[in-house]
């Protein structure tokens, strides 16, 4: 019991001595921590700033798996520092392509959304905000000019155009029938004879087909594979590096440097005394 009490007293005395020692050199610890903070600010100011921006695209052709494949392909070029390959795909100069750190394309369509079109969020990390406008145009053109996408766009255009033409033929036929009825001319078509039972059905059918035709014409005008919903926004503050992280790191390094140095000096002093 006495040995245990003696050990506890020794530890307490050691703890008090350690606290007194570092308190005696508190000024040095504070100066070292301040120097660490100052150096961290200098390093932060010299570090390249990375800006993050987002763009929203609407597409009923681009799929989520395909967008992931595109993301992986572009980021592989970035990681490999393949400026030429990246610049060719995004219609940029090699110097501009080198400023891109990350490109990510992800679908933000909700499961409850039953519409055919999906919204895609394009996120980029760049080191120069001046290239955002050019990068935006390059990204859209890159997605539109893909062979798979172009084939599907062509198929959609042909389908919508065929439907517009077919409905136009039907409307012309009904207009011709309407004029014959108005002039009192005989109608020989069996289908027309059925319409004669209720002449108003001709007018309602023409209106119905006209609305349907307008819908297909609108779809034909918007058949482009990628529609821009919201372009890249230019933010003033960089996404990284963060000043707060640099300050904490600078303070920690300066503090630990002071503690470590004081500890080494004290150990050398004890070693010299024992010698």
- The first and second tokens of residue 3, run together, are 């040995």
Give the number of other CB atoms < 10 A from CB of residue 164. Answer: 18
Query: Are the C-beta atoms of residues 146 and 206 closer than 8 Å to each other?
Result: no
What domains are there in the chain, each with its CATH number? Answer: 2-46+241-274 (no CATH), 51-149+225-230 (3.30.70.1130), 154-221 (no CATH)
Which pLDDT belongs to residue 234? 80
Q: What is the DSSP code string of the chain? A: -HHHHHHHHHHHHHHHHHHHHHHHTHHHHHHHHHHHHHHHHHHHHHSPPBEEEEEEEEESS--HHHHHHHHHHHHHHHHTT-HHHHHHHHT--HHHHTTEEEEEEEE---TT--SS-EEEEEEEEES-GGGHHHHHHHHHHHHHT-HHHHHHHHHHHHHHHHHHHHHHHHHHHHHHHHHHHHHT-----HHHHHHHTSTHHHHHHHHHHHHHHHHHHHHHHT--S-EEEE-----SS-SBS-HHHHHHHHHHHHHHHHHHHHHHHHHHHHHHHH-
Which pLDDT belongs to residue 198? 53
Which pLDDT belongs to residue 209? 81
Q: What is the DSSP code string of 119-149? A: EEEEEEEES-GGGHHHHHHHHHHHHHT-HHH
Q: Is the pTM of this model over 0.75?
A: no
Residues 111 and 71: their CA atoms lie apart, in Å, by: 22
Which pLDDT belongs to residue 197? 42
Which pLDDT belongs to residue 261? 87
Q: What is the pLDDT along the chain (275 residues), one digit of tens a residue?
A: 455 555 555 666 766 776 777 778 888 888 999 999 999 999 988 888 899 999 999 887 777 888 888 899 999 999 999 999 999 999 999 999 999 999 999 888 655 454 556 789 999 999 998 999 999 999 988 888 877 667 777 777 778 788 888 888 888 877 776 776 666 555 555 444 444 445 667 777 778 888 888 887 777 776 666 788 899 988 878 888 888 898 999 999 998 998 888 888 877 877 777 65
């Amino acid at each position: 019991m006495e040995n245990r009490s003696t050990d506890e007293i020794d530890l307490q005395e050691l703890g008090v001595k350690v606290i007194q020692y570092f308190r005696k050199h508190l000024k040095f610890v504070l100066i070292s921590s301040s120097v660490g903070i100052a150096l961290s600010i200098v390093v932060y100011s010299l570090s390249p700033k990375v800006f993050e921006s987002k763009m929203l695209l609407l597409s009923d052709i681009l799929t989520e798996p395909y967008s992931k494949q595109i993301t992986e392909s572009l980021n592989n070029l970035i990681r490999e520092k393949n400026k030429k390959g990246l610049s060719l795909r995004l219609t940029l100069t090699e110097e501009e392509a080198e400023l891109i750190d990350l490109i990510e394309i992800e679908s933000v369509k909700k499961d409850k959304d039953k519409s055919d079109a999906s919204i895609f969020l394009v996120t980029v990390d760049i080191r120069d905000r001046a290239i955002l406008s050019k990068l935006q145009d390059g990204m859209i053109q890159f997605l539109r000019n893909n062979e798979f996408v172009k084939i599907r766009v062509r198929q959609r255009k042909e389908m919508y155009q065929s439907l517009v033409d077919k409905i136009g033929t039907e409307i012309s036929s009904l207009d011709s029938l309407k004029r014959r009825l108005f002039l009192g001319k005989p109608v020989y078509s069996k289908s027309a004879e059925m319409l004669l039972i209720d002449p108003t059905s001709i007018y309602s059918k023409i209106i119905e087909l006209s609305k349907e035709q307008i819908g297909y014409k609108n779809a034909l005008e918007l058949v482009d594979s990628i529609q821009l919903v919201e372009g890249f926004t230019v933010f003033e503050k960089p996404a990284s590096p963060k000043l707060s992280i640099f300050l904490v790191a600078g303070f920690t390094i300066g503090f630990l440097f002071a503690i470590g140095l004081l500890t080494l000096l004290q150990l050398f002093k004890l070693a010299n005394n024992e010698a």
